[in-house]
Structure 1
Amino acid sequence: MAKTLRRTAAFKALFHALSAGSRGGPSLGRRLGALPRMIRATLRGEYDGGLRLAMMTAAAAYVVSPIDAMPELMMLLFGLADDALMVTWLAGSVLAETERFLEWEAHRANVVPGHVVG
């Protein structure tokens, strides 16, 4: 019973984080749509998210890699716990970084290219 309540609370928290668009933040669709632009801008050197993007890529690779199968086989509970921790961190990082990128993109749209007159 307690496990079901904790799972329900976790799903409620995830729902609230993903539905931030209704509270003034970017929606999940807008965040997911920003991912390719964020990657492109980072690779071009326009956006400073290189290290964060690399860490998110490494976390995703760890979760889906065969190397991660070893903890699951040896220590079932620990193996699943490290995956849950990694996926939680990854989801939070993607949410935070896409919001940061969308703010950067909006600020950049207001800048007129040209020379600084001093």
Structure 2
Amino acid sequence: MMAKAARAAAAWRTYREVTKPGSPGLMTRIRAIPRMVGAVMRGQYAGMGKSKLAMLGLGVVYILSPVDVVPDFLVLIGVVDDFGVFLWLAATLLGESGRYVEHERNVIQARLVEEDG
């Protein structure tokens, strides 16, 4: 029961963060995910470590894998664990990609200041 509440709270926090005025929007965050992954892999974005990126990758593999900790043939319970991982993955990716978009904006702004200065 606590895990469900924690997942719901994480989903709500993500929704509030994505819809906050001035914050990068949902599609901006989604489009930034491949750039963020590339920047992390190249060591150009220190806001997220490779270990966290690996955990996110494992989350994707878990969702796509036919092998589950709780088998899907246990109808409701088997689907709930996949959904919980999906919520965690979505909330984490959207939160991290929003921070990455802000990072990109700061880098661009710093370059413009350097060029003007």
Identity rate of aligned residues, in percent? 34
Per the TM alignment, residue 18 of structure 1 is displaced from its structure 2 partner at its CA by: 8.1
SS in 2 for 1:106: helix
CA distance in 2, matches of 1:86, 1:70: 12
2:33 corresponds to which of 32, 35, 38: 35
Alignment length, in residue pairs?
100
Tell me which residue corresponds to 1:53: 53
In 2, Cα distance between the equivalents of 1:51 and 1:111? 28
Normalising by structure 2, we get a TM-score of: 0.70
Encode CA deviations 1:43-93: one digit per residue, 9 max, x unaligned: 1111132222211111011011111296112x2222111011101101100
**Alignment match, 1:103:** 102
State TM-score, norm by structure 1: 0.69
Q: Which has the higher contact order (CA 8 A, sep 6+)?
A: 2
Highest Rg: 1 or 2? 1
State the match for 1:44 in structure 2.
42
* Long gaps (5+) in structure 1: 1-9
1:1-118 matches, within 5 Å, as: 17=15, 20-21=18-19, 23-48=21-46, 49=48, 50-68=50-68, 71-73=71-73, 75-112=74-111
Judged with a 3 Å threshold, the aligned counterparts in structure 2 of structure 1 residues 19 and 97 are, in CA distance, closer, same or farther, namely closer
Displacement after TM superposition at 1:26 (Å): 1.0
Take 1:109 and 1:51, find their aligned partners in 2: how far apart are those partners? 27
Q: Which whole-Å deviations, capped at 9, do the CAs of 1:4-56 have from their partners, x for residues lacking one?
A: xxxxxx8xx77x82893573211111111111111111111111322222111
Q: Is the 8 A contact 1:18 1:27 kept in 2?
A: no
Q: Which runs of 5+ in 2 are unaligned?
A: 1-7
Q: Is the 8 A contact 1:18 1:28 kept in 2?
A: no
Task: Tell me if the contact between 1:19 and 1:28 (Cα under 8 Å) persists in the aligned partners.
Answer: no
Q: Which amino acid aligns with 2:71?
A: P
